[in-house]
């Protein structure tokens, strides 16, 4: 079912966006590749209507498959995906499990803040 849906989604993206955007299979997800035109004024108006626990997304297209509606959305806030190399597989990574993420993310956050402080001190 997932492969069938991905084939349908590929053709829908191609019909909707032509050669401007393409859908690529990447680890754990499908990734939309290309440049999107954005309207910053429209995004600013939408920000006021969000609750704190809601993600900000832009709906790129919607379609129905087997009486289920699907939305292709773009996250408006940056998202960092942290992975680790796959054992025995060169140049392939997998996303962290929830347990690994709980352990590793605080370490990465500390390293990032340390990096930012060093960079800021070098600029002044």
Q: Are residues 33 and 69 in the same domain?
A: yes
pLDDT at residue 15 in the model: 74
Beta bridge partners of 26: 29
Cα pseudo-dihedral 34, 27, 57, 64, rounded to 10: 90
35, 71: one domain: yes
pLDDT for 80 equals 75
Mean pLDDT of 39-66: 67
Same domain, 50 and 104: no
Note the pLDDT of residue 3: 44
Report the number of distinct structural domains present in the chain.
2
Domain that holds residue 108: 83-123
Residue where a domain terminates, one of 75, 93, 115: 75
Res 51: pLDDT: 60
Average pLDDT estimate for 20-24: 73
Are residue 64 and residue 111 in the same domain, yes or no? no
User: Shortest CA distance to 13 belongs to which of 56, 66, 70?
Assistant: 70
- pLDDT bin (cut points 50, 70, 90) of residue 48 is low
Can you list the positions of beta strands (E) in the chain?
21-26, 29-34, 57-65, 68-75, 83-85, 93-95
* Burial profile 31-52: b = 16 or more Cβ within 10 angstroms, e = fewer: ebeeeeeeeeeeeeeeeeeeee
- pLDDT on residue 98: 87
Work out the average pLDDT over 64-68: 86
């Amino acid at each position: 079912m997932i492969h069938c849906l991905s084939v349908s989604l590929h053709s829908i993206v191609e019909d909707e966006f032509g050669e401007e955007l393409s859908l690529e299979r990447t680890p754990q997800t499908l990734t939309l590749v290309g440049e999107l035109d954005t309207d910053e004024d429209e995004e600013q108006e939408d920000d006021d209507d969000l609750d704190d626990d809601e993600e900000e997304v832009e709906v790129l297209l919607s379609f129905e498959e087997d009486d289920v509606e699907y939305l292709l959305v773009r996250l408006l806030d940056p998202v960092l995906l942290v992975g680790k190399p796959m054992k025995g597989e060169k140049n392939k990574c997998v996303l962290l499990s929830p347990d690994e993420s709980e352990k590793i993310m605080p370490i990465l956050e500390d390293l990032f803040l340390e990096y930012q402080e060093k960079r800021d001190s070098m600029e002044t």
